[in-house]
Structure formats: structure tokens, C-alpha cells
Amino acid sequence: NERALLMPFGILDGIGIGCEVELADTQPQVYPDESWLGRVVNAFGQPVDGKGPLSEGQQAYPIRNMPPSAHSRQRVAGKIDLGVRAMNTFLTCCRGQRMGIFAGSGVGKSSLLSMMTRHTTSDVSVVGLIGERGREAREFIEDDLGEEGLRRSVVVVATSDEPPLMRRQAAYMTMAISEYFRDVGRDVLCMMDSVTRFAMAQREISLSVGEPPASKGYTPTVFAELPRLLERAGPGGPGQGSITGLFTVLVDGDDHNEPISDAVRGILDGHVVLDRSIAEQGRYPAINILRSVSRTMPGCNTEGENQIVSRARQLLATYDDMAELIRLGAYRKGTDPKVDEAIHYFPLIEEFLKQRKTECMRLNDGYLDLARRLDLVAPQDDAPQMAQNGVAGGRGSAATGQMAPNELPGAAPAPPPSTGPILKPREPRSKVTSSSNRGNEQDLNEAKRALRREQNNAKGGGGG
């Protein structure tokens, strides 16, 4: 049993029986530096963009580093502005949070990543393109990311034709570079596309050494390596910055309960679901709000912001429940006041969720825009102003009545900090008699029965 199995990082041309093998004195390390911003490197940290050699930093970072202990980290705190309306309002991220973006192929994962890389207010972005096609990797860097986004980013690339060891190492390299910028006090946005291809690379490695497969061909080592990789993102220690992680998961056959999706969802602090049916309707980013969640969002939002989001989610859920009846024309207006409200506000919310790749909306502007669409902001004489979130004496002045730009209107007069948009009390609805209610319920039930009859007839016709 005294045998070691060696796997190459590259091709084996020129290597044969009798060649000497030397053990390295240390584990693989990288020496990141501030000058790496704007550069593209491979899984070993070597430049592949043709812009010349890279300067090495003073400190070595192990490529396969262990995650920091739970008690050595600070708490997740403070919002991060991603510049995407749907993310900023419905799925607010905190610094040091880890989010997964789950989608099938061709639904817009890379486009959403490029939007957040270009528009985020984080100090540094580190992007790992794991197992991407070479053509797509270059298009992402030059077109989607652009010169502006690349200027404060480091991109790690391992294309699909490279050996599995290189693809796996590129994921570790992405985290090692992120850890360097975190340790020097930067707030890092680390994005990896995709974790699924990292898992596939680990599966190839494990199967080649004889490890038995477990679930859908994935070996136990795959599920052991996932938390070791993903836990490296998060808040740093005292005096350090943070690593906010956005990891895409390529859902196999649009099955969101397949093994990798299920495992990653349990490790991360939230998930964003991109829906193919929404993308087919032409609404991008194709985020399914009802199936997506940010676990840290309720604690980092103000009460007013949570009320706005809760109200919008209720309207979307009500519309979703009745969508089939509405499309068939079986629902009659006035049958249910809640459904009537949902029908009225649904197109306004859908319009809010649309965003072009070059468009950017800041965090508080998104909440205010959504509140206006839902008629939750109290009317004001002048153009809506924003209240300062800081203490008195900041950008705005309580004494002069001036408000700082791009902030939400305060719920109470200054000097207290803003608590979110002023919620306008809804006017009482006219009372409906009990007999009218009974009649409306009967109409709705009759519509549902008619829909079921149509579905049964369709099934019977298909069987004949």
C-alpha cells in the first residue's frame, strides 16, 4: 500500500518513466499585491492578460487556506450597495454575507454578476471564472465587466479545457486573493462563477483516485470541500475588512433540489433564484422574488424598509396564487379586494424589477422608488427629499431643514436618525355587506370549479 497517486496540473508531454520527482518544501502559496487590480491571472496567480509580469506582495497566502474560526470574526453588519434594484431592496446583502445565485444555463447569471461588479460600492471585486468557455471568459471581461469594472477588480480564469486540478485550484486562488485584500482592511466583493464547476472538478479528481460515488456521481469529498471553500468568505477580524461572497450555482436540469444546489443552499446566508420562465418573458434580471431570500436582511433594514418589502411580497404572492385564473379571464373584478390590489400593483412591481445592464440604482433610491409605486410615501409639496441617516451635523442640517441626497425620508423630525420612508395610512375601504361577501365568494368558487373542469376535460381529451 506504500503508493502515491500523482495527478498533473497540465499536459504530460516530455515526462516518462525514470523522471525524478521532488517534493516542494511548502504548500502552494501566492503573494498578492495592490498592483494586481485590473489584472487577469490563472490558477497559479500568473498573468494571462499580456500586460507584463505581476509584482509580488510581502506576505504569502496559502492557496488552500483554512476558514477563520467563528469567534475570531466580527459580526455581519452594514449594507453593501450592489447597484441592482431587485437585490438592494428585496434581497439586501450585508458586508460579509454569502449569497448563492441559482439558475440553469442561459438565464443571466453572468450578466447579473457583471452588473454587480460594475455598480457595487465595495472597495475591491475579485472574480473567479471556473470552468468557463474561453470565448465567454473574454467576453465577460471585455464586454460585461468593461474597463471601469476591471479597474478595481482581479479576475481569476480557469477555462473548461484545463485539467480538473487547475479548475479546482482557481477557486482556491480566488479566495486567497480575496483574503489578502480583506486583511489590509478592504471590503471585498468575491464572485465565483460557478461553484458547480468547482464541484465537478473535485468529482473528477475523486473518481480518478478510486473514491466511490455517493449522490448523482458526486463523491463524499465534494461535500466536504464545499464548506471549506465557502466558509473562507465572511467578515474579517478586528481591524480587517470583509469578504462578501456571491457564488453562482449552475442548476442541473433546472432542478433546484439536485445535490450541489441543496448542499450549497444550506451553507450560504441566502439564495437568489433566477427563473427561466421570467427570462423568457424578457424581464431581466430574471429574479424570482418569492423563491429568493436574504437571511440577514430583516436585521439590517429599518422598520420602514421592512414594511415596504413585506407589502410588495404580499402583493406578489397574492397575484401568483391567482395568476392562472387571471390569465384565463375566470376572475371577476370586485370578487376579492386583495386580489384587485395585487392586479393593480403587479405590473408596477414588475416594471420596478426590470433593469438594464448599464443602469445603476443606489440603495436608498430603490426603497423610495418602490414605496412610491406602492403608494406608501406621504405626499410632499416639493420633489421628494431624503433624510440623513447619520447624526446631526452630517451632510444634512436639521436646523435648516436641508436633507442629504440619496437618503430615505425620516419617519420623525430630525435630529433622530431616519427610520425609513414615511408610510401613508391607507384610506379605509368601504364596508361590504355580508350578503355581498357571500356572493363574491360564490363567484370565486364557481370560477375555480370551472377552471378545474377545463383542466379535467383537457386531460380526458389528451387521453382519448
Between 219 and 149, where is the model more confident?
219
* pLDDT for residue 459: 61
d(CA 345, CA 337): 12
Cell triple for 63? 492557496
CA 450 centroid distance within chain: 41
Are the CB atoms for 245 and 120 separated by under 8 Å?
Answer: no
- Note the pLDDT tens digit of each residue in 119-172: 999 999 999 999 988 888 888 898 888 888 899 999 999 999 999 999 999 999
The percentage of residues in the chain with a pLDDT greater than 70, rounded to a whole number, is 83
* pLDDT for residue 409: 43
* pLDDT for residue 401: 39
Q: Is the pLDDT of residue 233 over 60?
A: yes
Reported as a pLDDT band with limits 50, 70 and 90, residue 443 is low
Q: Is the peptide bond before 415 cis (omega within 30 degrees of 0)?
A: yes
Give the global pTM. 0.80
* pLDDT for residue 27: 82
* pLDDT for residue 438: 56
Reported as a pLDDT band with limits 50, 70 and 90, residue 384 is very low
**With 0-12 CB in 10 A as exposed, 13-18 as middle and 19+ as buried, what is 435?**
exposed
- Give the max Cα distance, the chain: 94
Between 233 and 390, where is the model more confident?
233
Cell triple for 141? 471581461
Under 8 Å CB-to-CB from 149, ≥6 apart: which residues?
Answer: 114, 117, 118, 125
* pLDDT for residue 149: 87
Cell triple for 263? 448542499
Question: If DSSP states are collapsed to H, E and C, what string results for the chain?
Answer: CCCCCCCCCCCCCCCCCCCCCCCCCCCCEECCCHHHCCEEECCCCCECCCCCCCCCCCCCEECCCCCCCHHHCCCCCCEECCCCHHHHHHCCEECCCEEEEEECCCCCHHHHHHHHHHHCCCCEEEEEEEEECHHHHHHHHHHHHHHHHHHCEEEEEEECCCCHHHHHHHHHHHHHHHHHHHHCCCEEEEEEECHHHHHHHHHHHHHHCCCCCCECCECHHHHHHHHHHHCCCEECCCCCCEEEEEEEEECHHHCCCCHHHHHHHHHCCEEEEECHHHHHCCCCCCECHHHCEECCHHHHCCHHHHHHHHHHHHHHHHHHHHHHHHHHCCCCCCCCHHHHHHHHHHHHHHHHHCCCCCCCCCHHHHHHHHHHHCCCECCCCCCCCCCCCCCCCCCCECCCCECCCCCCCCCCCCCCCCCCCCECCCCCCCCCCHHHHHHHHHHHHHHHHHHHHHHHHHHHHHHC
Instruction: Find the radius of gyration of the CA atoms of the chain.
Output: 26
CB atoms under 10 Å from CB of 120, counted, come to 26
* pLDDT for residue 412: 37
Between 38 and 24, where is the model more confident?
38
Closest CA to 222 of 244, 195, 249, 250: 195
Mean pLDDT of the chain: 85
Closest CA to 141 of 129, 130, 131: 129
Q: Is the pLDDT of residue 378 over 70?
A: no
CB atoms under 10 Å from CB of 419, counted, come to 17
* pLDDT for residue 11: 78
- Note the pLDDT tens digit of each residue in 262-302: 999 999 999 999 999 999 999 999 999 999 999 999 889 99
Q: Is the pLDDT of residue 427 over 70?
A: no
Are the CB atoms for 334 and 449 separated by under 8 Å?
Answer: no
The answer to which of 11-15, 173-177, 245-249, 299-303 has the lowest mean pLDDT is 11-15
* pLDDT for residue 36: 97
CB atoms under 10 Å from CB of 237, counted, come to 14
Are the CB atoms for 59 and 31 separated by under 8 Å?
Answer: yes
Rounded to the nearest 10 degrees, what angle do helices 259-267 and 195-208 cross at?
Answer: 120
The percentage of residues in the chain with a pLDDT greater than 90, rounded to a whole number, is 61
Query: 198 phi and psi, to 5 degrees?
Result: -65, -45
Please report, in angstroms and rounded to a whole number, the separation of the first and last CA atoms in the chain: 65
Between 437 and 323, where is the model more confident?
323
Q: Is the pLDDT of residue 405 over 90?
A: no
* pLDDT for residue 375: 94
Q: Which residue has the cell 432542478?
A: 255
* pLDDT for residue 439: 56
Beta bridge partners, 372, equal none
Reported as a pLDDT band with limits 50, 70 and 90, residue 215 is confident
Domains of the chain: 30-300 (3.40.50.12240), 301-389+403-448 (1.20.1270.330)
Are the CB atoms for 212 and 157 separated by under 8 Å?
Answer: no
- Note the pLDDT tens digit of each residue in 61-73: 999 999 888 889 9
Closest CA to 90 of 313, 423, 279: 313
Reported as a pLDDT band with limits 50, 70 and 90, residue 313 is very high
The number of C-alpha atoms within 13 Å of 57 and in the hemisphere containing its C-beta is 19
* pLDDT for residue 417: 39
* pLDDT for residue 413: 39
